[in-house]
Amino acid sequence: MAILMLKIFQKQGKIYADKATVLSADTNFEGNLEGEGDVVLKGRFDGQIKVTGDVHVEKGASVHSTVEARSIYVNGKIEGHLKASGLLKIGSGGIVAGEIEINVLSIEAGGTLNGQCNMVTRSEVGIPIRAVASTSYENYSLVK
């Protein structure tokens, strides 16, 4: 069952936006999802996602999708075409397969990326970019 959360909530040290759509672990969804705010996927999703916020693929989730979002955080499994204007962070148990178009890439030890990676060029975002290997997103920096 998909649930629209209308307030800030915290789960396992993660704070999501004031508006988040949550697909629970026992839910299978097929179709398209568009909107504002964050999306938290804990179950199985097949289709297309286009949101202005972040997409969180939680541990145990299985996603076959085209995803366009601000940032994408992967601790489960996702296969498809991913496009993030910000960060793609693959956690220690995360698996990403497919084509990705991103600004910043972070892969924790134990994370997996199989596919093609296209980094956004400097002229597209107006600032330099870099890929990072770090244990936390807070350790990366964009420099002008």
Beta bridge partner(s), residue 74: 57, 90
pTM: 0.75
pLDDT digits (tens, 9 = 90+) for 18-29: 578 888 899 999
Q: Which of 63, 73, 46, 129 is nearest to 97 (CA)?
A: 63
Does residue 25 form part of some domain? Answer: yes
Quick check: is 130 in a domain?
A: yes
| Residue 38 maps to a domain | yes
Say if strands 2-5 and 10-11 run parallel, antiparallel, or are unpaired: unpaired
- pLDDT, tens digit, 9 for 90 and up, residues 105-143: 999 999 999 999 998 764 454 444 455 444 444 444 443
Residue 144 maps to a domain: no
The pLDDT value recorded for residue 19 is 73
**How many independent structural domains does the chain possess?**
1
Provide the domain limits for residue 50. 2-139
In whole angstroms, what is the distance from residue 100 CA to residue 116 CA? Answer: 6
The answer to whether residues 125 and 107 touch, using CB atoms and an 8 Å cutoff, is: no
Of residues 41 and 137, more confidently modeled: 41
E-strand spans in the chain?
A: 2-5, 10-11, 14-15, 20-23, 28-35, 38-41, 44-51, 55-57, 62-69, 72-74, 77-84, 87-90, 95-102, 104-107, 112-119
Q: State residue 121's pLDDT score.
A: 60
Q: What is the pLDDT of residue 7?
A: 34
Of 37, 49, 104, give the one whose Cα is nearest residue 82.
49
The answer to whether 41 and 59 are in contact (CB under 8 A) is no
Among residues 119, 71, 72, 113, the alpha carbon closest in space to that of 92 is found at: 113
Question: For residue range 51-96, what is the model confidence (pLDDT) as tens digits?
Answer: 999 999 999 999 999 999 999 999 999 999 999 999 999 999 999 9
Considering the domain boundaries, does residue 103 fall inside one? yes
pLDDT at 124: 53
